């Protein structure tokens, strides 16, 4: 067990004493072919994320860059901003549509447990919620309804868990959003200075009130997302460097299996609030 795990009291529960209560996993599972979480809140957050990026694209291109007198300034900043926006959307898509490390559902059957050929005293864990053999450092997600290897947290903004297989895409997504937000804020500041020096009717193809409102909204969006994604990027980098996921860092989230020696070759199931230990004696 990982040194970061905390011990919990483990109690016996009669309802978990039958390993064959779990049904074998279905061979025709669409989640194994295409990973996509059907969660209303997550889908709404993902759509909002894309809409905010497209809004920033609209303001940067049509409010700030197209009316600019310096063509070289518009070309360079347009290339930088659009490249970062494309990379952010690509990373978001990969983080959302990549299996984060889901454990096969319903594999805690008697036949599968026997096929593991466990040695006497060896302990494995079973999740009572998705009925799967849980590897070390895996946690159950109530939204994905699966156990996820090295689960850090469930992020509604990418409509997916952040786990072993997609954490790199989530880190890149937060980094690109932080960079694009910082770039947008810098351009907004320069554009305001440009508009103060020139006439407002010449610094934008929109009316002065519309220009001010669009720039203020972009400034608010950029500042909010810069702070949020910079903090998330920092916590993810710290998690990677310390090799401790967000779930493991939560107090009292670990478990310790208890092995009681009994006569004979008997299978015992020891259940915890979120884990189920199996020992062979």
Q: Which helix (H) or strand (E) holds 236?
A: helix 208-242
Q: Which helix (H) or strand (E) holds 269?
A: strand 267-271
Per annotation, catalytic residue among 155, 161, 195, 203: 155
39, exposed or middle or buried, with CB in 10 Å at 0-12, 13-18, 19+?
middle
Residue 116, strand partner residues:
none
Tell me whether residue 155 is one of the annotated catalytic residues: yes
CA distance 192 to 59: 13
**Residues 6 or more apart from 188 whose CB is under 8 A from it?**
64, 215, 218, 219, 222
Contact 31, 92 (CB under 8 A): no
Residue 203: name the closest of 107, 83, 67, 88 by CA.
Answer: 67
**How far are the Cα atoms of 133, 146, 231 from residue 275, in angstroms, in the given order?**
10, 13, 31
Helix pair 167-197, 71-97: axis angle to 10 deg: 150
Tokens, residue 248? 């493991």
134, exposed or middle or buried, with CB in 10 Å at 0-12, 13-18, 19+?
buried
Tokens, residue 106? 């319903």
Residues designated catalytic: 155
């Amino acid at each position: 067990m990982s040194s970061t795990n905390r011990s919990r009291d483990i109690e016996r529960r009669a309802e978990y004493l039958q390993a064959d209560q779990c049904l074998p996993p279905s061979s025709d599972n669409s989640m194994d072919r295409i990973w996509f979480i059907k969660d209303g809140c997550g889908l709404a957050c993902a759509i909002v994320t894309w809409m905010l990026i497209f809004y920033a694209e609209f303001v940067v291109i049509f409010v700030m860059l197209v009316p600019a007198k310096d063509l070289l300034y518009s070309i360079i900043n347009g290339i930088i901003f659009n490249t970062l926006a494309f990379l952010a959307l690509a990373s978001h898509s990969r983080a959302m549509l990549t299996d984060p490390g889901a454990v096969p559902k319903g594999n805690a059957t008697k036949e599968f447990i026997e096929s593991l050929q466990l040695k006497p005293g060896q302990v494995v864990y079973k999740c009572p919620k998705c009925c799967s053999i849980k590897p070390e450092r895996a946690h159950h997600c109530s939204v994905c309804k699966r156990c996820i290897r090295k689960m850090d947290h469930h992020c509604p903004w990418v409509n997916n868990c952040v786990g072993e297989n997609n954490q790199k895409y989530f880190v890149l997504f937060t980094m690109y959003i932080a960079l694009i937000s910082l770039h947008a804020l810098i351009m907004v500041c320069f554009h305001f200075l440009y508009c103060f020096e020139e006439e407002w009717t010449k610094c934008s193809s929109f009316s002065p009130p519309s220009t001010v409102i669009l720039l203020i909204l972009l400034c608010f969006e950029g500042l909010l997302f810069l702070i949020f994604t910079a903090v998330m990027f920092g916590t993810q980098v710290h998690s990677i460097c310390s090799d401790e996921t967000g779930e493991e860092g939560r107090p009292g989230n670990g478990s310790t299996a208890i092995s009681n020696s009994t006569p004979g070759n008997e299978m015992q199931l020891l259940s915890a609030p979120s884990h189920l230990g199996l020992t062979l004696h």
